[in-house]
Structure 1
Amino acid sequence: MPIGDELKAARKAKGWSHTRVIHALTLHARHHGVSIMTERSLKTALSRWENGHTTPDQFYRGLLASVLGLPDPYDLLTQTSRYELKLDVAVDRAEDLSRYQGPPDSAASIASPLIDDDQVVAGYVFAHSHLLPTAVEPESTDRTYAANRLRDRAAQLMELDFQRGGGHVRPMLQSFFLAEVVPAVRACMASKSDRNVFSAAAEVSQLLGWAAYDEHRHREAARYFVLGLRLASEAGDQLLGARLLANLSHQYTFLRKPRQALTFARAAESVLRGRGTPAVETMCVMMEARALAVAGERQEAIAAILHAETLFSRSSDFEPPWIGYYDAAELAGDAAHAFHDLSAFREVQEFASTAITSSTPARTRGFIRFLSAQAALVAGDADHAAVLAAEAMQTGVTVLSARHQRYVDDFRAAAIKRKVPQLLDVLERYRSAPVQKPRQSSEG
C-alpha cells in the first residue's frame, strides 16, 4: 500500500481529522523534546503526504508511526520482519540485531504478527537458486577451521542455554556473534567456497533466537530464526533450514498461534522430503503434532505423534551434531506437551515419566516437572503435585528464563482454579529466591 493511502487509512481508522493528527504529532514531539514544523506547515505536509504528492522523510515517518500506530520502516524490527534475499543486507541486519537492546515484548506487541509469515516461507522454500549445486573452490583449511571454531563455541553456549536459560547466555551470544561470527561471514562473502562458515553462522543465529525467545523477546527471536534461514540457504544446508522453520513453529505454538505454527512445521517437513535424517524429521513432525494439539485437533495430533515415533525408530549413519540433543527423552517431552494441550493428563504422566533422564538439563527438567505436577493435580493427587512443583521451582532458582515463569504462571492458575492453596504456598516459597546474574565473558 502506498504510504499516502496507509496514512489516510490509519487516520480514518482512528476517526481523526487532520487537526487531531497534527495535535497528536505536536504533543508527541514536545514530550520527546524534538522540534517539528509549525501546525500550518504540518497541515499542508499531511495533505501532500496523503495525496501522494510527497512522502515523509525518516524523521516524520517515525513520528507518524508513533501517533498513528503504523510500523516504522526505519525501525530495526520492521526492517527484519521479512526474508531478505540479498546476503549483504541480511548480514548487515543480523549485525544490527545482535546489538539490539530493546525491552522484552509486551502482550500487545506479540498479539500482532511476529514476522511476515507467508513471505518468509515463500522466500526460503522457493529461493532454490541458493540450494542448487554451484561450481565452488575447495574449502581452505583456514575457513574449515573457522567454521569448526564457531561450532565448538556454539555447542558450549547451547549447553549453557539449556542449563541456565536465555537470560544467562544471550549477552554472551551477542558478543560472540559481533566479535567472531559476523567477521567470519564477511570474510567469506567474496568467495564461492566456505559454505560451511555460513552454516555455522546460521547455527549461532538460531541460538540467539532461542535465547531471545527464552527471555520473552519474541519478535527479536523470530528475526534471528529468519536471518539464520538466509545463512542456511547460502550454505545449501536444508537440514538446518528445516530446523529453523521448526523453531518458528515451536515459538508460535508457545504463543498459542496454531495456524502459523502449522504453516512453519509443514514447511519444514516439505523442505526435508527425501533429504531428512530420522532425528531431524522426527523433531519437525513433533512440531506439527504440538501445533495440532494447540489447535484442538486430537486425532491428527495423535497420528503425528505415532508417525514421529516410527520415524525415530529408523537407523541412520548420519545426524548433524546440532540435533544430538533430540533423543528418546526429548521426543517424550514433546509428546507430553502435546497431550497436555489436549488435556489428556494420563498420557502426560506416561510420557513425562520417560522425558527426564540423568542428563536432562535443568530448564527442560523444570518444564517437564510442571507438566507432571499439573497432571497429578488433575488426577486429584495434590500431595504429589506439591512435590513435583517444588522440584520444578527449585530448578528455576538457577535458571534465567521467562519461559520457565510461564510454566509457573500456568500451574498457579490451575492450582487457583482447583482451589488447592497449599500448592500456592509451594510456589511462593521459591519465588523470592535470587538468581545469579551472568557476568560478561571476555570470550564473547
Structure 2
Amino acid sequence: MPKGQPNEGLARLLDEADWTYRQLSAAVNRIGAERGLLLTYDESSVKHWLNGAMPRRNVRPVIVEALARRIGRPITLEEAGLGASPAMTGLEVAAPEHDLNTIEGLLDTGRADMDPSRRAVLTTALYSATLAVPGFGEADETLDRLEHQAAGRTVRIGPGDVAVVRSMTDKIADILDELGGAHARPMAAAFIVNSVASYLRADGPEAVKNDMRAAASDLVYLTGWMAMYERAHGLGQRYYRQALGLAKAANDQVTYCRTLRGMALQAANLRHANKALELADSAAEAAPSAGPRLLAFLRGQQAHGAALVGDQQLAFSRLTETEAALSRADNRRDAIGGYDQAAYFFHQSAVLYALGDVPGSITAMKASNRVRPPMEKQGNAHANGLLAQRQFEVGHIEAACATWNVFLDDYAALSSSRADEHFEIMRRRIRPYLKNARVRELNERAREMARQKAAA
C-alpha cells in the first residue's frame, strides 16, 4: 500500500469483523499483552491506520491476529494492507506447515531457543488462535519430507540411540519439576540441535526410525510445554506443531493426542474457550482406543474446555468419566504427560472455578496439593499460586498469606516465568492490606526474596 493512501484492505477486514474502532484497538492491546507488549491504542489509532499510517513493525502481526481471531480464518499482512509478510523465521508470525514438518525447521527453532540473544525475540512470537489442526488420519507429506532430507545418509541408528533420547527427555522433565523451565528448556533445545536432528537424519531399520521419530516427538512436545509454561506462547505453539508432525510421521497416536491436549491447555490459559474445547475434543478423537490413564488425561481437559464455554452438564459428565477412567488405571505415572490423582483434582478445581464456584475450586485444589509429590516444585508453586489467589478472592486473607508462604518456599529454588508471574500477582494483591500483620510479614519476606532474585 503506497504511503499516505487509505488502507482499503484494513477497512474491508474491519467491516468483515463487524467491529468498531474501539473494539479493534482493545483487542490489539489485549493480544499485545500476550507477547509482552504494553500497548495503549484507542479509536484514534485505528483511524490513523485506516488513513494510511503504518503501525510499528512489531505491532502489525498483532493487528492481523486480532482480526483473524474475530473473523475465524488466517489473515496475511498483505491482506490487511500492512506490508509484505516477513521471512518465516518463527519470530514474528506462525511458520508454514512445510517449515514445521522438516528437520531444518526444527533446527531453526532449536538454534534460536539456544541463543540468548535470539531467545528474547523468539519468546515474543505471536500465538495464533486460528490455525487449523489436521486429524491424525489425514494424509500429509510429513514423512516424505523427513525421508527426503535424510537421503544419502551414512550414519545408522539403533535401539540404544532411541533409549538415549527417551532417557534425556525424562531427565529434562525432572529438571523442569525441580528447577523450572528457564533452566530446562535451553537444555532441551541444545539436545534437539546437537543430537536429535542428527538421529532423525540417520538411516536404520524402519521400526527404529519410527521409534526415533516418536521419541523426538515426545521431547519436542515437552519443550513446547515448557515454552507455554514460560508464557512464550507463540514459541510453544511452534514446538507443539512440530511435535504433531513428528508424531504423525512415527504413526504415534499417543504423543499426537498428548500434544493436542497440551495445545488445548494453552488455549485455555489464553482464554480462547471455544478453541480450548475444540482442541481437547480433537485430542480425544485422536486416541479412540486409549488406555484408562490416557483416557482420564484427555477427559479431564475436555471437562475444563466444557466449563470454559459454560456447559456445566457436559463439564461434570466429563469429570465423572475422568474419575472413572483414573480408578481403572495402575499406579504408574509417566514422566511426560502423566496423569494422577493430583492432576484430576487440579482439573476439578479448574472446572469449578470456570463455572464460578470459587469455594469449591479451593477445596479441590487443596486435595490436589495433598497428593502431589513434593519434589514437583514447579507444579506445587503453580498450584499454590492459584490457590492463594482464590483464597484471597473470597476474603480469606490470612489463609492466602499462609499459602503464599508455602509458594515462596518452592519459588526460592525456581527459575520460571510462570512462578515469577505468581510472585508479581501476590505482591500486587497484598499491597493494599499492609495493615494486616500477616500481610506485612509476607510482604517483607517477598521484598527480601525479590532482592535475592535480582542479585542472583
TM over 0.5: yes
Residue 401 of structure 1: aligned partner: 416
Query: Please, which of 300, 303, 321 is the counterpart of residue 307 of structure 1?
Result: 321
Residue 120 of structure 2: aligned partner: 103
User: Structure 2 CA distance, aligned partners of 1:262 and 1:414?
Assistant: 31
Q: Structure 1's 245 and 358: CA in aligned 2 closer, same or farther, altered over 3 A?
A: closer
8 Å contact from structure 2 (residues 380, 410) kept in 1: yes
Q: Structure 1's 162 and 127: CA in aligned 2 closer, same or farther, altered over 3 A?
A: farther
Residue 368 of structure 2: aligned partner: 355
Q: Where does 1:284-363 land on structure 2 (aligned, <5 Å)?
A: 284-315=298-329, 321-323=334-336, 325-356=338-369, 357=371, 359-360=373-374, 361-363=376-378
Q: Structure 1's 368 and 164: CA in aligned 2 closer, same or farther, altered over 3 A?
A: same
Return the offset for 1:79. 7.2
8 Å contact from structure 2 (residues 135, 286) kept in 1: no
User: Structure 1 CA distance, aligned partners of 2:338 and 2:295?
Assistant: 14
Residue 53 of structure 1: aligned partner: none
Residues 232-268 of structure 1 deviation map (CA, whole Å, 9 limit, x = unaligned): 1111110110000000011111111111111111100
Task: Give the aligned residue type for 1:290.
Answer: H
Task: Give the aligned residue type for 1:9.
Answer: G
Query: Please, which of 247, 256, 261 is the counterpart of residue 262 of structure 2?
Result: 247
Return the offset for 1:174. 1.2
User: Structure 2 CA distance, aligned partners of 1:386 and 1:155?
Assistant: 34
User: Structure 2 CA distance, aligned partners of 1:424 and 1:406?
Assistant: 20
Identity of aligned pairs, percent? 19
Query: Please, which of 45, 50, 58 is the counterpart of residue 15 of structure 1?
Result: 50
User: Structure 1 CA distance, aligned partners of 2:428 and 2:307?
Assistant: 20
Return the offset for 1:415. 5.0
Residue 157 of structure 1: aligned partner: 172
Farther-moved stretch of structure 1 (355-364 vs 194-203): 355-364
Find out whether 1:264 has 2:264 as its counterpart: no
Q: Where does 1:122-271 land on structure 2 (aligned, <5 Å)?
A: 122=134, 124-127=136-139, 142-188=157-203, 193-271=208-286
Query: Please, which of 434, 439, 445 is the counterpart of residue 429 of structure 1?
Result: 445
TM-score (norm 1): 0.73
Q: Return the structure number with greater relative CO, CA threshold 8 A, min gap 6.
A: 1
Residue 147 of structure 2: aligned partner: none
User: Structure 1 CA distance, aligned partners of 2:203 and 2:378?
Assistant: 36
Q: How many residues align?
A: 376
Structure 2: 5+ residue stretches without partners: 1-6, 14-48, 58-75, 113-117, 144-154
User: Structure 1 CA distance, aligned partners of 2:435 and 2:283?
Assistant: 42
Query: Please, which of 398, 401, 423 is the counterpart of residue 383 of structure 1?
Result: 398
Cα RMSD between the aligned structures? Answer: 3.9
Q: Structure 1's 160 and 99: CA in aligned 2 closer, same or farther, altered over 3 A?
A: same
TM-score (norm 2): 0.71
Residues 339-370 of structure 1 deviation map (CA, whole Å, 9 limit, x = unaligned): 23333233223222221236240111112222
Q: Structure 1's 129 and 223: CA in aligned 2 closer, same or farther, altered over 3 A?
A: closer
Task: Give the aligned residue type for 1:92.
Answer: E
Return the offset for 1:402. 1.7
SS at 2:286 equivalent: helix
User: Structure 1 CA distance, aligned partners of 2:276 and 2:121?
Assistant: 21
User: Structure 2 CA distance, aligned partners of 1:382 and 1:174?
Assistant: 41
SS at 1:68 equivalent: coil
Residue 3 of structure 2: aligned partner: none
Task: Give the aligned residue type for 2:341.
Answer: A
SS at 2:202 equivalent: helix
Q: Where does 1:37-56 land on structure 2 (aligned, <5 Å)?
A: none
8 Å contact from structure 1 (residues 65, 72) kept in 2: no
User: Structure 1 CA distance, aligned partners of 2:186 and 2:304?
Assistant: 30
Q: Structure 1's 264 and 183: CA in aligned 2 closer, same or farther, altered over 3 A?
A: same
8 Å contact from structure 2 (residues 333, 339) kept in 1: no
Find out whether 1:76 has 2:90 as its counterpart: yes
8 Å contact from structure 2 (residues 200, 209) kept in 1: no
User: Structure 2 CA distance, aligned partners of 1:127 and 1:149?
Assistant: 30
Return the offset for 1:124. 4.3
Farther-moved stretch of structure 1 (424-433 vs 398-407): 424-433
8 Å contact from structure 1 (residues 83, 123) kept in 2: no
Return the offset for 1:116. 4.7
Greater C-alpha Rg: 1
Farther-moved stretch of structure 1 (211-220 vs 368-377): 368-377
Query: Please, which of 277, 285, 290 is the counterpart of residue 276 of structure 1?
Result: 290
Query: Please, which of 89, 102, 126 is the counterpart of residue 90 of structure 1?
Result: 102
Q: Structure 1's 358 and 16: CA in aligned 2 closer, same or farther, altered over 3 A?
A: closer
Residue 66 of structure 2: aligned partner: none
Return the offset for 1:218. 0.7
Q: Structure 1's 338 and 399: CA in aligned 2 closer, same or farther, altered over 3 A?
A: farther
Return the offset for 1:146. 0.8
Residue 54 of structure 1: aligned partner: none
